Amino acid sequence: MPPASAPPASRGTSRAGYRLLPAPVAAPARLVADAAQRQVIEHAGGPLLVLAGPGTGKTATLVESVAARVEAGADPRSILVLTFSRRAAAELRERITARLGPAGGGRGPGAWTFHAWCLALLRAHDRPAPSGGFRLLSGPEQDARLRELIDGSREDGRPAWPPALARCLGTRGFTEEVRALLARAREVGLEPVGLAQLARRTARPEWSALAEFYEMYLDVFGFEGALDYADLVHRAAAVAGGAEAADALRTRYRHVFVDEYQDTDPAQERLLRALAGGGGDLVAFGDPDQSIYAFRGAEVAGLLDFPQRFPTADGRPAPIVALRTCRRMAPAPLLASRQVARRLPAAGLPVPALRAHRDLTGRADLGDGLVEARTYPSAGAEAEAVADLLRREHLERGTPWRAMAVLVRTAERIGRLRRALVAAGVPVSVDGDDLPVAQEPAAALLLLALRCADDPAGALTADAARTLLTSPLGGADPAGVRELGRALRAFDRDGGAIQPAASAELVRDAVADPDRLLLRVPDEVARPARRVGGLLRAGRRALRDPDGTPEQALWELWSASGWQERLVAASAGGGAAGRAADRDLDAVVALFDAVARLAQRRGRGAGAALLVDELGRQQIAAESIAPVGEDARRGGVRLLTAHRSKGLEWDVVAVCGVQDGAWPDLRERHSLLGAEELDAPARGGLRPPLTRQDLLADERRLFYVALTRARRRVLVTAVDSPDEDGSRPSRLLEELGVPVEAVLGRPPRPLTLVALVATLRRLATEPTSSPALRGAARRRLAALAAARDDAGRPLAPAAHPRTWWGLLEVTTSDVPVVAPDAPLRLSGSSLSSIGACSLRWFLEHEAHAVTVSSTAQGFGKVVHALADEVTTGRTPADLAALDARLDTVWRHLDYEARWRSEQERGAAREALARFLDWHAAERGRRVAGAEVSFTARLTVAGRDVLLRGFIDRLELDGEGRVHVIDFKTGRTAPSRAELAVHPQLGSYQLAVRAGALDSALDSALAAARTPDGTPAGPGGAQPAEPGGAELVQLRLDTGGDNRAPRLPGEAPGPPQVQAQEPLPATGETWMDQAIGEAVRVVDAEAFRPTPGDQCPVCTFQASCPARPEGRQVVE
């Protein structure tokens, strides 16, 4: 079946059976021309410049001028209309065809974009390339071919690139610089020989190399028949001016009309001179005040000098006609635009013509209109205020959504504004031209998955794996990813790894090969990784299939994920979630269209990497992401850049982000290769650099274009931050000629259903509200709670009291934290945590709301591991050996700053030096174990308790008593009073007394003898008993000032050692009391906050009712 854009096929009586008929177009109303328009329409022939300001009926005048030629007897095929966008060309074709009706003979004059007409010209008149016909390259395709040529030139040594460019030759930025310079050379008609001469004249070695590369580029592309956009127009101009085609073209095209002439570049001007120079019938419509595409090579001088560059047949300057009546704007917006326009330079135009061009009359039927300039204290307040204004325009004045627009200077500002508009319930339409499809989150996610499926070794990095796992494709949350990483590290450690790989890398490997690495991971933890790994495997199978394509692989990723069903369900649910789902669905549809189109153009040989790269590098999208849901039926507010707004108009326009330094952007436009310096050979090949005045004029023209899109109301906004170094509004606000209002607060209650419900809830529950007011609010809430949409869903579920957080009863769980018949598992650190703050213990140990291990914890783990290696003899007790060992593991610690890593690396070396000092000291004891785990079974307060832990080091004295050693790497030490009841040391001693370490100590105790020669320990005459416990502070010197910085070369002293008295061999101790208190807290589930010194470093402050930020909002 024909594509949707094709004209309908109609059955005819011809032998072919079918013939194509143009789609019917409604006949437009005949133009009621004013005097200036009649002058243009009745122009007898020859060159004519028509100055057409915003809304002056330029297009209608052009259409009538074409119709006048046809009605005067001209062949419609002898009329050529050229413009700059496909949209404008299509609109002109339709309007001309409708205007001509039967007079056009069913075939109106051709309305083309410059590039489309140039390509048709070359195919008709130029010699085809040796490899076939002509092919127009897209920007990404051209970049890819340029990179190949640049890489080849590096290998061949031709051209000889200057040494100063050596480091950037392989970069994407250099390729873009080369493309810009070649395009500029083509625009101004500078051939390789001319560029080489210019390089010698200016002593620019990079231009000399580029001249040689330029020639090679033309040879290769010429052989392939490949054309970039600049070369296309250049070659078309050469063909049109050549002996073979010039006469034929002038004979065929006797009447040439050009729309938006201010946007022409030198190459397009050469083309027009070849077609209609020397007094030919060339009518150019343009506005010097709307010349905003200088960055694409457009030169406003072409319009300003048009009368001299295209003189009449008798050598006089071409006449100028200015359209005087603005049919778009109300008086107030028109006056504001005049205030800006009068500051724009227009040197070259006669003063009377310029005055007539800018002295416009506006529409009286729209009333006075409104122009507002406002500043806000923050970008968030600005976005909210704009959203509020649009909603009020729609709800209070009845302005359709589609009759309003928000314009910004650059696309970077679109995201924040779109979020604010969507949050306020404003339907938004963002042009794909302003947000390429690959930048849409949904499309970007699928493209990432496609690249990872195609190249798991290169593309599936740790960051990519995390992104996929926490996306809708994987369904995991960050806590789930951390839990998966911990499980994988534990299995890596159990497998004998001295230093397990980083959890991020293990997670990445699990996604790449889930069958191998996830066998021992619990299913609920491994499920997201299995899901993502399965999707990537399905995509990889589709890509490896001999008949497979990237489009099919993309479909496998999309269809197998279940994401589509979830989005469709969310879309049907409406609200903010529904609008977000609509946007994602629209983006996915546009993505499949774009991939199919690229694959068709590149052929079946195009791999997934090339297609993803092309889409990812698009700065202007190939496909518009138009909403297809409810917003499409009723139209949404357009959100786009000022450049993209050219030629469009709305009732209400908000021009946002008019900030100093951003609009106008007066930064100097310098490039590495100096493309902006090239000019036409006739002008010496060089043009002077742009001055600040030139840049300001360009920026002011863009601002003028944005202002003149509004028919009735225009709002210009900026941020005026209260911070000393914050954002400031642009000078352009002052140029509007209206007072600038500083809005200091947030907007009043938005006109949204959510805001209405919130206000009613506050009034219904606020004690200060009168009974009558509370009653009225409650009745309205009841009405809203009962309201349903067409599908029977609640319109305002938050209006019902059952959803109000403050009215709900506090819930209790039917399942206890620890079952009464199950043993309570505790450790020394748990006892410390419960004693310090039982709420924190619950959140960490039972709710598992732990945060990622900090670098401080990593520091301690590394030092402990190396101390264990020395204790067990795996590493010599030598500082140099430990220092070398430290180097092998330090890179796994992820410090944010290099200086911090180096500082802590030195501190770790000092800690190990203190350890060796302590290790070598004579204490009358010998090592009995290192990194010893234990489980002690106790009965406390009638409750079974399992006391677990790891002891850094065990030592035996001559009497067989067990001394417990715990290494610390913190910066502070407990006080003497705190040490006496230190729960961690106490739990270790209690484990010794309970016999939990007997099996680990058997061999060591068997060798120890009591004074009477009896073996000590289990099985001996005397049971093992605690000999005390010690904290060895490896970061702290004994007796020194540990706060003072160490002098260079100063060695650390012995570590500070803090001893705890031995627990009594029998009877109840303070440790039994501490465990009893912990049992009482856990069984009663009395997890309450305990404010103290630990609060400032606690990670749960936002969940703690003892902290202001953690209190419930209904307290």
Binding region: 52-59
Quick count: other Cβ atoms within 10 Å of Cβ 331? 17
Rounded to whole angstroms, the Cα distance separating 982 from 761 reads 51
Q: State the DSSP code for 1016.
A: B
Q: Reduced to 3 states, what is the DSSP secondary structure of residue 646? A: coil
Amino acid symbol at 431 = D
DSSP string, 550-589: HHHHHHHHHHHTSHHHHHHHHHHH-HHHHHHHHHHHHHHH
Amino acid symbol at 415 = G
Contact between residue 646 and residue 292 where contact means Cβ atoms under 8 Å apart? yes
DSSP string, 161-188: --GGGGGGTTSHHHHHHHHHHHHHHHHT
934 forms bridges with which residues in the sheet? 949
428 forms bridges with which residues in the sheet? 637
Rounded to whole angstroms, the Cα distance separating 609 from 874 reads 48
Cβ-based burial of 1048 (10 A; exposed 0-12, middle 13-18, buried ≥19): exposed
Contact between residue 643 and residue 699 where contact means Cβ atoms under 8 Å apart? no
Rounded to whole angstroms, the Cα distance separating 752 from 758 reads 10
Cβ-based burial of 420 (10 A; exposed 0-12, middle 13-18, buried ≥19): buried
Q: Which residues are annotated as a binding site for ATP?
A: 52-59
Rounded to whole angstroms, the Cα distance separating 865 from 995 reads 26
Tokens of 916: 């060796």
Residue 715, φ and ψ in degrees, nearest 5: -120, 130
Contact between residue 483 and residue 851 where contact means Cβ atoms under 8 Å apart? no
Quick count: other Cβ atoms within 10 Å of Cβ 749? 11
DSSP string, 416-443: HHHHHHHHTT--EEE-TTTS-GGGSHHH
The alpha carbon of residue 943 and the mean position of all alpha carbons in its chain are separated, in whole angstroms, by 55
Rounded to whole angstroms, the Cα distance separating 65 from 96 reads 10
The CA-based angle 947-952-954, given to 5 degrees, is 90
Rounded to whole angstroms, the Cα distance separating 331 from 337 reads 10
Q: Reduced to 3 states, what is the DSSP secondary structure of residue 99? A: helix
Which residues, including other chains, have CB under 8 Å from residue 686's CB and lie 6 or more apart? 198, 202, 677, 678, 679
Is the N-terminal amide bond of 159 cis, ω within 30° of 0?
yes
Three-class HEC string of 236-287 = HHHHHCCCCCHHHHHHHCCEEEECCHHHCCHHHHHHHHHHHCCCCEEEEEEC
Contact between residue 962 and residue 956 where contact means Cβ atoms under 8 Å apart? yes
Determine the number of helices (DSSP H) and then strands (DSSP E) in the chain: 41, 23
Tokens of 798: 């938050």
Residue from 582, 620, 614 nearest 596 by CA? 614
Question: To which H or E segment does residue 931 belong?
Answer: strand 925-940
Rounded to whole angstroms, the Cα distance separating 878 from 748 reads 71
